[in-house]
């Protein structure tokens, strides 16, 4: 199976490179037969990379520990499910996974464009996709081969990092990768449009689903990563502004900016250069994220260490950047905007300013992430840039973004009149002022939380007003009752209202993030059996300790009775786990989750007399972070549900 | 209309300024932990780390607080022992000010460029700005209804 896997990798690369040659010759000679042959070669690429992935998964399943990668990320005791998903736990396997998914995406694009072979930009789209695939396949077969054999066959593997043995970690990396890989498609279309000179908005229309779907997957990946950190790492938070977290967040910000201004180009045919620049930046930043994890240039809790791949990624990114800049410069005259903007106060201009703020956050995050390297190069001083820096710099920018998110829907396309603005702003402004006063009276006095909650109310009100006015308009137009008009409105205009639902998800997330950061309570205590500790309205009593074995781990679980306001509210059971093949035990969080707050308990230490050290936190409103994330993703999905073609 | 524009600009500037100007309250043990990294090599902030070394560091901090040392003194002691990289964010002096200032300079430059673009795009169409534009997006009657109807029709065409 090892030889089979290796052979499949080599064949996948051969078909990919062959396909590229056929495409280049086909384009030069304008020979459609060669383009068709290239399509078949790229289909073969998908088949052989799938077989290579199957071979590696098989080796994990049967436990062939002579394969270096299998030995490094699994062992006999590991449950089968985690054995299979260990495929993307390390560098070599994750690169193979990347190449495989990209080959499938390429096959889907080839299938979808089967009737567009005569279009001058179609071969270029294939060429870009194949070019990116060939880079990853080249890395796999030369410097990062997951089928490399050890000189001996160990009896057992080293096992999977216990932190990664969590359901969140099964889905977090692949969804992130899928998001990254998905952006290859709009990038390929953009490059093809510039090379072929077909620079109308058709490339945007054709890639809209890919854009939003990739954004949705990237969003899911980031949220799952946060959720995993929250339940697995035991520090009570979900986002630490770690370099690798930032590496996924930066392209997400730029992609979000792109999705917004793509709407402007589709509607008004302006911002063509801007959109080209944004999609190029998004894709290069996706590759940059991959580079950051694998280069070892920055210290992170996530990275794979210095792997020797950094140089290859740098060359690849430089080639992408230089090529893209050249193409944008060469197409500048054709990309120049013909149409005009009537007013500073139009939805188009608010979209532009929303873009500026999104990019400012992306820039500050990138700059902060890379600043330790810059500082060391300039001053010779090693410094750390972590959570407090990013919170301080980015929070004002996020609040500004939230304000613009609220203002944007209140301003009409093209040009808003003063009367129109007064009417649109009246209800949201009055609601915001009233609720801010109520919150202030209720004791929310700190500036950040008050601003964040008030702006959340503002944005939520603008969205609700949009839904209400839309429903009312439909009622008047169709005579339908409100309970029919509302869902029909949602369905019929899902692209528009999907966006609003995503914005509403952002509001819910802001509420959750603000509550859980500003009003968090934390306590640490050591308890003997029968003793209690208090935190906020909660009291926790340590009842007993249970020890048992499960799969590949020994588990010590402390049973605690939870009281809230003096009344029994249930039990909670934090664990200490001792995994086979792990050097250190891990802590397992125990949660009592409600819409208002989470009681978050970890057990960092167990004493000789079975006394336990507990770290307990009360995290207000944190569930709304996950609910908001779900709503945001739901909004994105709703907005790309395809409509049936109208039959006339 | 001008008053409204100024109101929006002032509102945005106020959000930015007020939120940036906010200061953290007086220090506690947990706040000092937020200012420090754990030195076990985990690359986590001390407040987030659960390793044995982090427990030792917490013990040292609690001890210094009991001795009556201030937050600045405690942080200075850690810096003298481990260097500035023990701090979770760079101190606001010297070259580090670039890190704190660059994002806001970037934002201002971005806003400036955006204004230039909008002005240039507006220059291609010299419509009068003073009244509602008769482009089918606003009408003299119930403007909200008209806007919704138009958008409804337009979006239905889009999808």
Distance, CA of A506 to CA of B16 (rounded, Å): 19
Between B126 and A209, the higher pLDDT residue? A209
Phi/psi for A415 (5° steps) reads -160, 130
Q: What is the DSSP letter of A148?
A: P
pLDDT of A198 reads: 85
CB atoms within 10 A of CB A490: 18
Interface touch B16/A400, C-beta < 8 Å: yes
Q: Is A52 on the interface with B (CB under 8 A)?
A: no
pLDDT of A49 reads: 95
Find out whether A199 and A334 touch, Cβ atoms under 8 Å: yes
Taking only the tens place, the pLDDT of each residue in B19-76 is: 555 544 446 787 888 888 888 777 788 887 777 788 888 888 888 888 888 888 888 8
Three-class DSSP labels, A592-643? EECCCEEEEEEEEEECCCCCEEEEEEEEECCHHHHHHHHHHHHHHHHHCCCC
Q: What is the mean pLDDT of chain B?
A: 71
Give yes or no: residues B70 and B104 share one domain: no
Stretch A507-522: mean pLDDT? 93
Find out whether A6 and A147 touch, Cβ atoms under 8 Å: yes
In a domain, B60, yes or no: yes
Give yes or no: residues B81 and B100 share one domain: no
Q: Is A386 on the interface with B (CB under 8 A)?
A: yes
Coil vs helix vs strand at A128: helix
Give yes or no: residues B70 and B113 share one domain: no
Q: Which residues of A425-437 are buried (b: 16+ CB within 10 A; e: fewer)?
A: bebbbebbeebbe
Taking only the tens place, the pLDDT of each residue in A268-306 is: 778 888 899 999 999 999 999 888 877 666 665 555 555
CB neighbour list of residue A226: distance below 8 Å, 6 or more residues apart: A238, A239, A625, A629
Among A115-119, A464-468, A470-474, B33-37, the minimum mean pLDDT is found in A115-119
**Which domain range does residue B102 map to?**
94-123
Phi/psi for A67 (5° steps) reads -75, 120
Phi/psi for A115 (5° steps) reads -95, 5
Torsion of CA A501, A507, A511, A516, to 10 degrees: 80
Distance, CA of A267 to CA of A489 (rounded, Å): 20
Distance, CA of A99 to CA of A138 (rounded, Å): 10
- Give A355's contacts in chain B (Cβ within 8 Å): 114
Q: Which A residues 607-636 touch B at CB under 8 Å?
A: 615
Q: DSSP states of A277-301 as a string? A: HHHHHHHHHHHHHHHHHHH-SS--S
Residue to substitute from A349, A360, A447, interface B, most B β-carbons within 10 A: A360
pLDDT of A109 reads: 95
Strand order in the sheet with A612-620: A521-527, A612-620, A597-606, A590-593
Chosen domain end from B65, B86, B107: B86
Interface touch A356/B107, C-beta < 8 Å: yes
Give yes or no: residues B63 and B107 share one domain: no
pLDDT of B2 reads: 60
In a domain, B118, yes or no: yes
Coil vs helix vs strand at B94: coil
Kindly indicate the confidence band of residue A25, based on its pLDDT and cuts at 50, 70 and 90. very high
Interface touch B102/A340, C-beta < 8 Å: no
- pLDDT exceeds cutoff 70 at A206: yes
pLDDT of B26 reads: 43
- Give A492's contacts in chain B (Cβ within 8 Å): 156, 159
Q: A436: which 2 tokens? A: 């801010």
Distance, CA of B6 to CA of A129 (rounded, Å): 48
Kindly indicate the confidence band of residue A40, based on its pLDDT and cuts at 50, 70 and 90. very high
Q: Is A292 on the interface with B (CB under 8 A)?
A: no
Kindly indicate the confidence band of residue A235, based on its pLDDT and cuts at 50, 70 and 90. confident
In a domain, B39, yes or no: yes
- pLDDT exceeds cutoff 90 at A186: yes
Residue to substitute from B107, B134, B142, interface A, most A β-carbons within 10 A: B107
Interface touch A403/B123, C-beta < 8 Å: no
ipTM of the complex: 0.74
Distance, CA of A419 to CA of B106 (rounded, Å): 34
- Give A395's contacts in chain B (Cβ within 8 Å): 19
Q: Which residue of A has its CA nearest to B94?
A: A379
Distance, CA of A196 to CA of A119 (rounded, Å): 9
Give yes or no: residues B35 and B81 share one domain: yes
pLDDT of A584 reads: 76
In a domain, B16, yes or no: no
Give yes or no: residues B108 and B74 share one domain: no
Distance, CA of A316 to CA of A324 (rounded, Å): 12
Give yes or no: residues B66 and B37 share one domain: yes
Residue to substitute from B36, B48, B51, B146, interface A, most A β-carbons within 10 A: B48
Give yes or no: residues B70 and B98 share one domain: no
Between A255 and A421, the higher pLDDT residue? A255
Interface touch A420/B147, C-beta < 8 Å: yes
Q: A582: which 2 tokens? A: 């792990």
pLDDT of A562 reads: 94
Name the residue among A477, A566, A350, A501 with its Cα closest to residue B146.
A477
Q: How far, CA to CA in Å, does A363 sit from each of A356, A390, A395, A425? A: 10, 11, 14, 31
pLDDT of B25 reads: 44
Q: Which residue of A has its CA nearest to B85?
A: A383
Q: Which residues of A37-51 are buried (b: 16+ CB within 10 A; e: fewer)?
A: bbbebbbbbbebbbb
- pLDDT exceeds cutoff 90 at A236: no
Between A408 and A498, the higher pLDDT residue? A498
- pLDDT exceeds cutoff 90 at A92: no
- Give B71's contacts in chain A (Cβ within 8 Å): none
Helix runs in A382-493, H state only: 387-407, 418-441, 447-478, 482-492
Cross-chain CB nearest to A386 (options B4, B45, B138): B45
- Distance (Å) from the alpha carbon of B122 to chain A's nearest alpha carbon: 5
Find out whether A351 and A261 touch, Cβ atoms under 8 Å: yes
Cross-chain CB nearest to B35 (options A388, A393, A422): A388
Give yes or no: residues B77 and B106 share one domain: no
Give yes or no: residues B79 and B111 share one domain: no
Q: A213: which 2 tokens? A: 């779907």
For residue A454, how many C-alpha atoms fall within 13 Å in the half-sphere facing its CB? 24
Taking every pair of Cα atoms in chain B, the longest distance, rounded to a whole number of angstroms, is 74
Give yes or no: residues B56 and B74 share one domain: yes
How many domains does the structure of chain B reveal?
2
Q: Which residue of A has its CA nearest to B133?
A: A415
CB pairs under 8 A between A and B: 239
Strand (E) or helix (H) holding A523: strand A521-527
Find out whether A86 and A93 touch, Cβ atoms under 8 Å: yes
In a domain, B142, yes or no: no
End-to-end Cα spacing for chain B: 34
Q: What percent of chain B has pLDDT over 70?
A: 59
Q: B44: which 2 tokens? A: 């986590």
Stretch A111-131: mean pLDDT? 90
- pLDDT exceeds cutoff 50 at A237: yes
In a domain, B42, yes or no: yes
pLDDT of B138 reads: 36
Q: How far, CA to CA in Å, does A7 sit from each of A41, A106, A142, A598? A: 16, 21, 13, 51
Q: Is A559 on the interface with B (CB under 8 A)?
A: no
Residue where the block lists tokens 């990138």: A366
Find out whether A53 and A100 touch, Cβ atoms under 8 Å: yes
Strand (E) or helix (H) holding A570: strand A567-572
Q: A151: which 2 tokens? A: 């000189």
Stretch B114-126: mean pLDDT? 71
Residue where the block lists tokens 């229309």: A205
In a domain, B24, yes or no: no
Give yes or no: residues B47 and B82 share one domain: yes
């Amino acid at each position: 199976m090892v030889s089979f896997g290796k052979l499949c990798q080599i064949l996948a690369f051969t078909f990919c490179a062959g396909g590229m040659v056929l495409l280049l010759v086909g384009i030069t000679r304008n020979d459609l037969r060669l383009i068709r042959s290239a399509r078949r070669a790229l289909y073969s690429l998908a088949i052989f990379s799938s077989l290579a992935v199957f071979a590696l998964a098989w080796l994990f399943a049967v436990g062939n520990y002579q394969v270096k990668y299998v030995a490094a990320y699994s062992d006999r005791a590991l449950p089968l499910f985690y054995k299979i998903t260990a495929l993307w736990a390390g560098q070599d396997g994750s690169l193979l996974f990347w190449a495989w998914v990209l080959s499938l995406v390429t096959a889907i694009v080839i299938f979808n464009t089967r009737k567009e072979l005569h279009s001058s930009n179609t071969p270029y789209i294939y060429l870009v996709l194949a070019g990116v695939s060939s880079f990853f396949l080249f890395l796999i077969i030369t410097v990062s081969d997951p089928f490399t054999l050890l000189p001996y066959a160990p009896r057992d593997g080293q096992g999977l990092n216990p932190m990664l043995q969590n359901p969140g970690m099964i889905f977090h990396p692949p969804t992130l990768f899928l998001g990254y890989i998905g952006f290859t498609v709009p990038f390929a279309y953009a490059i093809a449009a510039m090379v072929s000179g077909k620079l109308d908005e058709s490339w945007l229309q054709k890639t809209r689903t890919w854009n939003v779907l990739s954004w949705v997957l990237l969003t899911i990946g980031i949220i799952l990563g946060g959720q995993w950190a929250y339940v697995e790492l035991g520090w009570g938070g979900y986002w630490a502004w770690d370099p690798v977290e930032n590496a996924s967040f930066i392209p997400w910000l730029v992609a979000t900016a792109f999705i917004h201004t793509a709407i402007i180009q589709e509607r008004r045919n302006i911002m063509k250069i801007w959109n080209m620049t944004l999609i190029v930046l998004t894709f290069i930043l996706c590759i940059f994220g991959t580079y950051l994890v694998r280069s070892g240039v920055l210290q992170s809790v996530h990275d794979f260490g210095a792997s020797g791949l950094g140089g290859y990624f740098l060359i690849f990114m430089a080639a992408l950047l230089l090529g893209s800049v050249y193409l944008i410069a060469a197409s500048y005259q054709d990309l120049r905007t013909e149409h005009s903007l009537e007013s500073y106060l139009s939805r188009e201009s608010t979209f532009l300013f929303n873009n500026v703020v999104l990019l400012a956050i992306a820039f500050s995050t990138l700059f902060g992430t890379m600043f330790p390297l810059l500082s060391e190069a300039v001053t010779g001083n090693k410094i750390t840039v972590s959570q407090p820096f990013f919170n301080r710099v980015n929070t004002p920018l996020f609040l500004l973004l939230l304000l613009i998110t609220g203002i944007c829907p209140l301003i009409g396309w093209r040009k808003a009149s003063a009367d129109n603005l007064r009417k649109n702003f009246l209800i949201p402004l009055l609601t915001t002022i009233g609720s801010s006063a109520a919150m202030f009276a209720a004791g929310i006095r700190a500036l950040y939380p008050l601003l964040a909650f008030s702006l959340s109310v503002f944005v939520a009100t603008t969205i609700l007003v949009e839904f209400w006015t839309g429903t009312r308009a439909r009622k008047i137009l169709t005579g339908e009752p409100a309970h029919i008009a509302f869902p029909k409105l949602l369905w019929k205009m899902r692209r528009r209202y999907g966006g609003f639902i995503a914005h509403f998800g952002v509001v819910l997330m802001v509420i959750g993030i603000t509550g859980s950061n500003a009003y968090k309570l934390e306590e640490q205590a050591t308890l003997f059996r029968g003793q209690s500790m208090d935190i906020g309205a909660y009291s926790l009593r340590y009842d007993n300790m249970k020890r048992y074995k499960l799969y590949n781990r020994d588990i010590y679980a402390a049973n605690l009775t939870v009281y809230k306001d003096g009344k029994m509210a249930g039990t909670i059971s934090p664990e200490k786990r001792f995994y086979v093949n792990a050097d250190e035990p891990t802590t397992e969080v125990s949660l009592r989750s409600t819409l208002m707050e989470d009681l978050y308990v970890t057990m960092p230490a167990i004493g000789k007399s079975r006394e336990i050290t507990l770290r307990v936190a009360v995290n207000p409103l944190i569930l709304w972070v996950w609910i908001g994330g779900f709503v945001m993703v739901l909004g994105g999905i709703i907005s790309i549900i395809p409509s049936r073609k109208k039959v006339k | 209309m001008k008053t409204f524009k100024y109101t929006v600009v002032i509102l945005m500037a106020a959000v930015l300024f007020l939120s940036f100007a906010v200061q953290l309250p007086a220090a506690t043990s947990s706040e000092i932990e937020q200012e420090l990294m754990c030195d076990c090599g985990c690359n986590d902030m001390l407040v987030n780390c659960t390793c044995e070394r982090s427990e030792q560091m917490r013990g040292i901090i609690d001890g210094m607080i009991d001795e009556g040392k201030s937050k600045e003194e405690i942080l200075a002691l850690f810096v003298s022992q481990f260097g500035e990289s023990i701090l979770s964010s760079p101190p606001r002096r010297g070259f580090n000010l670039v890190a704190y200032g660059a994002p806001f300079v970037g934002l201002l430059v971005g806003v400036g460029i955006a204004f230039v673009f909008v002005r240039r795009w507006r220059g291609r169409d010299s419509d009068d700005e003073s009244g509602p534009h008769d482009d089918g997006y606003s009408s003299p009657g119930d403007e909200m209804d008209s806007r919704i109807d138009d958008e409804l029709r337009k979006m239905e065409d889009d999808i």
